[in-house]
Chain A
Amino acid sequence: MKKSIMAISVATALFSGAAVANLHINGFASIKGGMSTSSDKSLYGYTDELDFKNESLFAIQVRSDLGDRLSVTAQVMGRGSDDFDARFEWAFLSYEISENMRINAGRLRTPFYRYSDFMDVGFAYDWLRVPQGVYGLGFNNIEGVSLYHTGQLGDFDSTAQLIYGSFSGDITLAGNSASANINNIAGVTWELERGLLSVRAAYLSGRSTINAPGLNPLFAGLHQAGFSNVVADLDFNDDTSEFFGLGVTLDQGQWVLVSEYNRINVKDTFFAKRENYYISMAYRFDAITPYISFEREDHRSKSEIYQPYRSILPPQLLQPLVAVVESQAVDSKTWSGGLRYDFHPSAAFKVQYSNENNTLMDSRNDVVAVGVDLVF
């Protein structure tokens, strides 16, 4: 992120009115390796074979200032989990309406969480990975328009964001690959910061349509048997989807406490009612920052969808119906501990151990990972 004096001359030229395209190239990368300590179990994509690909990534960002407060930014990222196939993670035009108002349009990051915008930039936070229990929803990108407003509210620094757009992409639903469209996504986030305290709230809603071919036989069977109303309670057919999130950070300089909570519901579908939170605490010793965190995932399956039909439905329909609905249930607690070591001005070494206890499956999964996050 070093700017040379050449850039200053260019900037000075811009202030004097000359239109010079000002190109900024930045990048970040993470090289991470990890493994689960027990055989035949996996967590966060790791197995008991040491793997250096799963969470590694490279990204290059190019921003061009076109003058007159207009700029264009593209971020191309290759993730190890995608075999490092490069794809546009962000690509947007940005126009500064005023000193404290900016409009971005294009492919943006869905602002669900406090760290959404930079969750891939490991250098920007202490953990080896953002808490997956809270950040694991998916739908991370959105095509649309976003309005940012920064300002002061009394002694608080305020950042507000309005976003509107849509998502389309491939996801996994109840173990089936599926194509998802979320339309009319509208959201608002607001962050207030003062001294050591920062509070953030986010609300987003949209309408979800998901087509999972693997589920079609069940839906067709229910239709044929005259239970179309059950299908309507199950499928994702332009159904109202809501996300609400709250975050608090207390940064005393040495002690840092971060916590986020969210609840998610997609009405009239078999998507469980989800409530997740984490709480994390870190202590900065100069260049070394150890931390611990606790995550909780509570996804309550909508068993009320099949309960009234238990004695009515034939077993060949009831069994898959119950299986699909209950596949959404999660009740887990995860403890993580790790540290960040800033061994270089642009690079941080990290190590983290995470242990997830899944109550419903009565299973424990763990993963230990080390890695380096850098920016350039």
Chain B
Amino acid sequence: MNFRCVTVLMATLSLSTPLLADALVVVVHPDNNTQLTTDDLSRLFLGRVRTFPNGESAVPINLAEGLGARETFDERALSRSSAQLKAYWSKLVFTGKGSPPQEADTIDEMVKLVATNPSIIGYVPESAADERVRIALRLE
């Protein structure tokens, strides 16, 4: 068996498994030292508040629909299915009362966004949270 092939297979496995097995972590910029509860988190991602508990402005970013971590987040942090959340946001969007968080298409992109802006709050599988970001909360 070709060694390179195995490496590719290993890489593929390590890319897909974190989404399923890993703990999900809420990440912010390292300069952002706000303390968060899951209630705060849910209020931010449901558009009910737009500041961190310390009063600083907050910009929540979702992972794109279809990524496994997004679904996990919807269920663990917001206690709703993705379909319920879509219905929730359509209520606000079509009545001019709010719009859903913007989305990062990949986990890499999410880390980059969080690393460049102290207002941004996002979430990634724990293994993707490197030194560029600070873990604000773990979602088991």
A residues adjacent to B (C-beta < 8 A): 1-5, 7-8, 11-12, 15, 24, 26, 28, 59, 61, 63, 71, 73, 75, 90, 92, 94, 99, 102, 104, 109, 117-118, 120-121, 123-125, 148, 150, 157, 253, 284, 286-287, 342, 345-346, 348, 375
In the docked arrangement, what's the CA distance between A90 and B95, Å?
A: 8
Interface footprint category on B: 35 or more
B residues adjacent to A (C-beta < 8 A): 48-51, 57, 59, 61, 64-66, 79, 81-84, 86-91, 93-97, 99-105, 109, 113, 117, 119
Q: Are B90 and A61 in contact (CB under 8 A)?
A: no
- Chosen A-B contacts, 8 in total, with CB atoms closer than 8 Å, are A4-B105, A15-B57, A26-B94, A99-B50, A121-B91, A123-B90, A124-B91, A125-B87
CB distance from A256 to the nearest CB of B (A): 10
The residues of B that contact A15 with a CB separation of less than 8 Å are: 57, 59, 119
In the docked arrangement, what's the CA distance between A28 and B65, Å?
A: 18
Q: Are A287 and B93 in contact (CB under 8 A)?
A: no
In the docked arrangement, what's the CA distance between A75 and B90, Å?
A: 13
In the docked arrangement, what's the CA distance between A144 and B89, Å?
A: 25
In the docked arrangement, what's the CA distance between A2 and B103, Å?
A: 7
Q: Are A11 and B93 in contact (CB under 8 A)?
A: no
Q: Are A104 and B87 in contact (CB under 8 A)?
A: no
Set B51, B65, B84, B96: member contacting A2, Cβ < 8 A: B65
Closest to A89 in B: B94
In the docked arrangement, what's the CA distance between A118 and B84, Å?
A: 15
Q: Are B102 and A99 in contact (CB under 8 A)?
A: no
In the docked arrangement, what's the CA distance between A187 and B82, Å?
A: 34
Given contacts A99-B50, A284-B84, A345-B86, 17 further A-B contacts (CB under 8 A): A1-B93, A2-B64, A3-B100, A4-B105, A8-B113, A12-B117, A61-B93, A61-B94, A94-B96, A99-B49, A99-B51, A117-B97, A121-B94, A123-B90, A157-B48, A287-B83, A345-B83
Q: Are A1 and B100 in contact (CB under 8 A)?
A: yes
Q: Are A124 and B87 in contact (CB under 8 A)?
A: yes
Closest to A7 in B: B102
